[in-house]
Amino acid sequence: MKDLKDLVRPNIWEMQPYSSARDEFHGSASVFLDANENPYNTPYNRYPDPMQLLLKDRISELKGVGVDSIFLGNGSDEPIDLIIRAFCEPAIDSIVSIAPSYGMYEVAANINNVEFRKVELTKSFELDAERVLEAANAWVKVIYLCSPNNPTGNSLEREKLYKILNTFSGIVVIDEAYIDFSSEPSFLSELERFPNLIVLQTLSKAWGAAGIRLGMAFASPKIIAILNKIKYPYNVNMLTQEQALEILNNEERMKEQLRSILSERIRLQAALPLLNCVNKIYPTDANFILADVENANATYKALVKKGVIVRNRNNVTLCRGCLRITVGTPKENDALLAVLKKL
Ligand code: PMP
């Protein structure tokens, strides 16, 4: 990996971050007249902990990663954007990602006026590591990879991810939003081996908390310090911090839901290919199944008409004819199958 100083944008490296009242005072006190808050309406009158330390303690315990290797954001969409803003000079630098994949990498690049270079997966949705590395020229600061990948569902081949981590001298982001549904191990255990690695995870999927918006980025303390420097001071609100802690303290509830989702995934994997309108389904390591169906647009519309909404991926690279179906409750999956059976 290049020196971090040579990867980070010079203005970001040099700047002083905003210092909030709650950054400056630590300890206990009974009279808070430091942050221009309203003294009434407790507890919502107070600004939340800007560094979310209670929550990070719990995440550190759950994930086996030090507190200073954890960044928390408003969904993982926040670190996806912040990483580009930290490392890529607008109109000069670029990022590389794969196609098809999660759409926000490209949107975040476009918002920041950073070139988005995409490398198609193979027909079986495998990563072509050589082509990713060829695309990663001197102006490419970050490579975004998603594993298990959205919308294809498969985990990218581990050896190819190692090849990219070992060869590329910039930052490699592995987005593990769907890792809890996968039998593959997380790359969190590789953080110490690869100083250029950032792993993204979220409470939006297996933890069942998309509504509270909490995303996690894990990386070396030096990279995390850069993200902390440029985030909004109070980027994770008090309600989210409290609710996230509650959710993370109930790991058993998450595991029970996970078991149900995984067993329903097996049921759908058996049932879908037997239907006339389904040509094939792709292997999945996530909480959704990519299905190649007869006339995707018409099938999508027929489902909508019956109040069943899936994601139409017919116009996405390599996904012509495909619908992406999230695994729901047994009842929801029955409703899906009942409509498809009649087509
Ligand atoms: N990464 C991937 C691969 C996703 O599919 C999604 C959401 N669909 C996200 C990140 C964003 O998750 P969050 O809700 O944490 O912003």
Q: What is the pLDDT of residues 181-223, one digit of tens each?
A: 999 999 999 999 999 999 999 999 999 999 999 999 999 999 9
- pLDDT for the residue numbered 21: 85
pLDDT tens string 268-315: 999 999 999 999 999 999 999 999 999 999 999 999 999 999 999 999
Cβ(238)–Cβ(48) below 8 Å? yes
Mutate to test the pocket of ligand 1, among 150, 152, 212 (most ligand atoms within 8 A of CB): 150
State the closest ligand 1 atom to the C-alpha of 204, by its place in the atom list counted from 1: 14
Question: What is the spatial order of strands in the sheet that 171-175 belongs to?
Answer: 70-73, 215-218, 197-202, 171-175, 140-146, 94-99, 115-120
The residue type at 217: A
**What length is written for the chain?**
343
The span from the CA of 104 to the CA of 135, in Å, is 19
User: Three-class SS of residue 111?
Assistant: helix
What residues form DSSP beta bridges with 131? none
- pLDDT for the residue numbered 171: 98
Ligand 1 lined by 288 (C-beta under 6 Å): no
pTM of the complete model:
0.97
How many CA within 13 A on the CB side of residue 99?
13
- pLDDT for the residue numbered 26: 81
Ligand 1 lined by 174 (C-beta under 6 Å): no
Ligand 1 lined by 287 (C-beta under 6 Å): no
- Give the Cβ contact number of residue 258 at 10 Å: 17
Ligand 1 lined by 215 (C-beta under 6 Å): yes
Ligand 1 lined by 102 (C-beta under 6 Å): yes
Ligand 1 lined by 312 (C-beta under 6 Å): no
Cβ(52)–Cβ(236) below 8 Å? yes
CA 76 to centroid of ligand 1, rounded, Å = 6
Mutate to test the pocket of ligand 1, among 104, 107, 145 (most ligand atoms within 8 A of CB): 104
CA 77 to centroid of ligand 1, rounded, Å = 6
Ligand 1 lined by 69 (C-beta under 6 Å): no
Q: Kindly report the protein residue whose alpha carbon is nearest to atom 16 of ligand 1.
A: 75
Ligand 1 lined by 77 (C-beta under 6 Å): yes
The span from the CA of 268 to the CA of 164, in Å, is 34
**197 phi and psi angles, rounded to 5 deg:** -95, 135
CA 177 to centroid of ligand 1, rounded, Å = 6
Cβ(125)–Cβ(318) below 8 Å? yes
Q: Which segments of the chain have a pLDDT < 50?
A: none
The encoded tokens of residue 81 equal 């954007």
Ligand 1 lined by 75 (C-beta under 6 Å): yes
